[in-house]
Structure 1
Amino acid sequence: MKGDRVEIVVDAGGTTRTYELEATRAGRRLDVTHGRGLVEVTEVTRGGTPTRTARFMANRVIALVEHPAEQRPAAGEVVTLRRSA
């Protein structure tokens, strides 16, 4: 869903690099898979077609944080507009 975001921190030989991937359009989501020494983040359409893929070596990944999109607006995001009489 648009707003899905994944942050990946990778060891880059003495320093770290942070990558942020985000679903770019409505109806797309991010899928995270890992296996055989790779961590893969793929942006997928509603129909299941992959559009973008990022691959990282699993032994270099320090942290992977998934931030799912909000289903409903939070209480602080809802603004009530009133007309003055």
Structure 2
Amino acid sequence: MRGDRVEIVIDAGGEVRTYVIEATRNGRRVEIETGRGVVTVSEVTRSGTPVRTARFMATRILALVEHPAADQNIAREVPEPQQAGSSG
């Protein structure tokens, strides 16, 4: 879904780098595959054709964070916490 994105944080030998793969158009999605020590993150079309692909060594990945697209029907407000207190 457009707006889906995945952030990949890797150890680049003395520094930390962050890469972002995002579904850039309607109908596209981001898929993650793991195999043989390699993590593949791809933006794919509805039919499954990869548009962009990034491959990372699994041993170098510090974090892999998925950010789903925001649903327009869900309220994004955070309710205020109610405080436990004395009433009198």
Distance 2:52 2:73 in 1: 27
How far is the alpha carbon of 1:76 from its aligned partner?
Answer: 4.8
Taking only the aligned residue pairs, the percentage that are identical comes to 66
Q: How does 1:45-84 map to 2 (within 5 A)?
A: 45-76=45-76
- The count of aligned residue pairs is 77
Q: How does 1:3-18 map to 2 (within 5 A)?
A: 3-18=3-18
Deviations 1:10-54 (A, max 9, x none): 000011101111111010000001110101001110111111100
Distance 1:4 1:65 in 2: 11
How far is the alpha carbon of 1:73 from its aligned partner?
Answer: 4.0
- The structure number with the bigger radius of gyration is 2
Distance 1:21 1:61 in 2: 15
Distance 1:73 1:66 in 2: 20
The farther-off stretch of 46-55 and 68-77 is 68-77
Q: How does 1:28-43 map to 2 (within 5 A)?
A: 28-43=28-43
Unaligned runs of 5+ in 1: 78-85
Contact kept in structure 1, 2:21 and 2:42, CA below 8 Å: no
One-letter identity of the residue aligned with 1:3: G
- Paired residue for 2:24? 24
Distance 1:55 1:66 in 2: 16
Q: TM-score, normalised by structure 2?
A: 0.80
Over the aligned positions, Cα root-mean-square deviation in angstroms equals 1.5
SS in 2 for 1:25: coil
